[in-house]
Amino acid sequence: MSGGELKAVEPEEEVQRDTVRLLSGANGSSSEKYVLEDDEDEESKLDEWGLDGRYTFDHAVEHMGFGRFHWKLLMLCGVGYFAEITELVIVGFVAPAIEKDMGLSTVEYGLLGSSSFIGMAAGAVFWGYISDRFGRLISFSLTVWMTFIGGFLSAFSPNYPILFTLRFLAAFGIGGMLPVDYTIFLEFLPAKKRGSHIVLVGAVGVIPALFVSAIVAYSFSGKEDIKWRWVLGIVSIPVGIMAVLRRHVPESPRYHLAIGEVDKAQSILEKVAETNGVPLPRGKLAPLRKKGSSGESESSTSMHGKISLLFKGDILRATTPRLWLMWFLTQFSSSGMVFALPKIFDETFSVSKKRIALDLLWGVFGLIPGLTIAYFVVERSRKYSLAAYYVAAGASVFMFMLTTMGFLKNEFLAIVMSILLRGSMEGCFSLLNCTSVEAYPTLVRASGLGNAQIFDHIAGAMSPLFFSIFNDNTRLRPIAITVYAVAYLAAFVPTVTLPMDYVGLAIKD
């Protein structure tokens, strides 16, 4: 690792303590602060990193730093976010065309938007558990294939029931991709700039997703209609390409270590170190548990994915319900606005479908400053940076309402507000993903994020239905938009009261 040597504040037996003790809520968890000490002769001090010729997992990943392997993994993990964003944006954009083409009722139209979130909620729970119980790799591979197959075949749906089923299948895969992708990426990361690197996962996924979605939508939009089958088919192709490339990703070595497979963990670390072009510390990888604690090891293995562990200890008891509320409020507002934007631009400014797609494409440019700022501020504070983004998102929604329904009604101003809204919206999600995946130990990490996403997807399923209630009466539409703004602002409270801020802390084993 360039720039100095990593030295743990506590000795190895305290850093690599038993997983069960980590869940007890004691203050002395594996989330100790690490300090960097400048030293020219790093090689001479590697032996200090372990006891009896051993080194800890955290010492190994810190020593390897962020290198070539991590950049490759970053790109492959971004596909999960890519798939979710294209699902939400494209379904919201093509829903009016599908409604017209298939003659959908008001309820069917609302369910079409909600089907994505129903599938993602089920997938988040199922694949999060599978990932914690049987390893990250099986979920990492199967979820992306399920997403591609369901998404691509939906372009050929002959009727509404088959379309709904295939979109549900794709969403079931997407629901698992996010918790699993963030989990496996986190478990390879060093503590230094970890938050910034997690934000990059969102950037790698969401920026291409929105650009591809908007460009494809623009290209296949006529003056009065949208070739929705072409849109659904084309946006699924990048997911299929990534499904093929993902087969080269190894299992998480941190997961192997958590279930006592030390040799497998070390083998993967050696390959990562070789890819990054750096050596591992001297000696052998130390296990999480000392020899002779086989009873504890078996108990811990059986605890993988247990929902009750999300509330084990004072910190998790305070953190988990706050995260659930934050996910609910964030997605309720975000999915509602994403679903509402095409409809509002269409009926407010009476322009062509192609012009609407262009207006939405302009909004994508807000992602660049929004995620760039998040990349830097996340290393200052997770929770206070996220709280600031909630305030910005709520204010943007209010201003968008004024530029489309109020005294500031103007298409150009509406586009500007949509740009600000997009940037703050994606900043919220990037920082929330970072905060959530860092909060849980290895044996419930994917389940922790997956269960939080239940509330995310429940909110997403409710929000299009909520908007459709007010959609038929344009005079009542400001009520829905106001509720979305208030929800963003309400998320400020649970965010600033989170008990932990994980800047500079090692993640829990």
Q: Going from the N-terminus, what domains does the chain have, and what CATH number goes with each? A: 68-250+309-441+448-496 (1.20.1250.20)
Residue 27: pLDDT over 70: no
Asked whether the whole model's pTM tops 0.75, one would answer: yes
pLDDT digits (tens, 9 = 90+) for 47-89: 444 456 788 888 888 888 899 999 999 988 887 778 777 776 6
213-252 as b/e: b if 16+ CB within 10 A: bbebbbebbeeeebbbbebbbbbbebbeebbeebeebbbb
Whole-Å CA distances, 223 to 218, 351, 352, 353, 358: 11, 9, 5, 5, 12
- pLDDT at 23 (0 to 100): 36
pLDDT digits (tens, 9 = 90+) for 168-217: 898 899 888 888 999 999 999 988 889 999 999 988 887 787 777 777 76
Confidence of residue 509 (pLDDT cuts 50, 70, 90): low
Confidence of residue 289 (pLDDT cuts 50, 70, 90): low
Whole-Å CA distances, 179 to 127, 162, 174, 453: 8, 27, 9, 8
What is the residue-averaged pLDDT of the chain?
A: 79
- pLDDT at 356 (0 to 100): 67
Closest listed residue to residue 506, CA positions, set 1, 2, 3, 7: 7
Confidence of residue 430 (pLDDT cuts 50, 70, 90): very high
Residues 429 and 202 sit within 8 Å (Cβ to Cβ): yes
Q: In whole angstroms, give the CA distance from residue 370 to residue 390.
A: 12
Residue 326: pLDDT over 90: yes
Residues 129 and 450 sit within 8 Å (Cβ to Cβ): yes
Closest listed residue to residue 201, CA positions, set 33, 406, 433, 462: 433
Residues 298 and 443 sit within 8 Å (Cβ to Cβ): no
What residues contact 313, with CB distance under 8 A and at least 6 apart?
Answer: 23, 24, 25, 26
- Residue count (the chain): 509
Residues 125 and 465 sit within 8 Å (Cβ to Cβ): no
284-285 vs 54-55, strand pairing mode: parallel
Give me the DSSP letters along 157-216: -SSHHHHHHHHHHHHHHHHHHHHHHHHHHHTT--STTHHHHHHHHHHHHHHHHHHHHHHH
Residues 60 and 281 sit within 8 Å (Cβ to Cβ): yes
Confidence of residue 302 (pLDDT cuts 50, 70, 90): low
Q: What is the DSSP letter of 37?
A: E
Of residues 359 and 349, the one with the higher pLDDT is: 349
What residues contact 38, with CB distance under 8 A and at least 6 apart?
Answer: 3, 4
Angle 136-153/68-102 helices, nearest 10 degrees?
Answer: 30
- pLDDT at 294 (0 to 100): 44
